[in-house]
Amino acid sequence: MLIDAHVHLDKYADLLDQVLQEIEQKRIFTVATAMDIPSYLELQKIGERSELVLPTFGVHPRRAADYADRLQEIGRCIESSPAIGEIGLDFHWVKDTNTYPAQRKVLEYFIAAAREQNKFVNLHTKGGEKEILDQNVVDKVAELRQSTPERIENLVHANFLRMIEDDPWLYEVRSLLLPSNS
């Protein structure tokens, strides 16, 4: 069985039926990541169409400013979601530096919820890799895996993995985050 650990199925529109058919035919377990509440609600509907689709709730860094003052509301979605994603920091594509505090606030809220509820995390780090390492977000995520290794495998967005592979020290961090057979 293949695993697609990060896909925004709600963005496929007219191609969705074709994509779901391919998921079924090729037996691809698909972690469908949300960017906000509306996308999570849509992913839940899509998930009803295939047992191979796992809808997960997150607030993408681009949407964090819209949710920083709505943590209680997103808390309900986190509880209903089997995993968390997509969350993180984006200082590359998100140019408005006024949103960075909101990104940090939302990320911290999600990481705390992930720890409390033993949920894996799909982490977006474009341009925020250093801060994520400096703020011990990686350590907090790694603690999840160590606390319940039989239930949790933490996922990190591909941008972060490329950075890790280019730096020998960060490669060691990778081994803490990914399954040992990676």
Note the pLDDT tens digit of each residue in 31-51.
Answer: 999 999 999 999 999 999 999
111 located within any domain: yes
Q: Is the pLDDT of residue 28 over 80?
A: yes
The pLDDT value given to residue 177:
38
18 located within any domain: yes
The pLDDT value given to residue 142:
58
Percent of the chain with pLDDT over 90: 55
182 located within any domain: no
The pLDDT value given to residue 58:
96
| 168 confidence band (pLDDT: 50, 70, 90) | very low
The mean of the pLDDT values for the chain is 80
Residues 85/58, Cβ–Cβ less than 8 Å: yes
Domain that holds residue 102: 2-177
Task: Annotate 95-143 with DSSP letters as a single string.
Answer: --GGGHHHHHHHHHHHHHHHHHHT--EEEE-TTTHHHHHHTTHHHHHHH
The pLDDT value given to residue 27:
92
What six digits make up the tokens of 4? 């697609």
The pLDDT value given to residue 151:
40
The H or E element spanning position 172 is helix 168-177
The pLDDT value given to residue 5:
86
What CATH number does the domain containing 46 carry? 3.20.20.140
What's the CA angle centered on 177, arms 9 and 152, to 5 degrees?
Answer: 65
pLDDT tens, position by position, 100-159 = 999 999 999 998 898 888 888 888 888 888 787 776 665 665 565 555 444 434 444 433
80 located within any domain: yes
135 located within any domain: yes
> What total of structural domains would you count in the chain?
1
- The better pLDDT of the pair 124, 161 is held by 124
53 located within any domain: yes
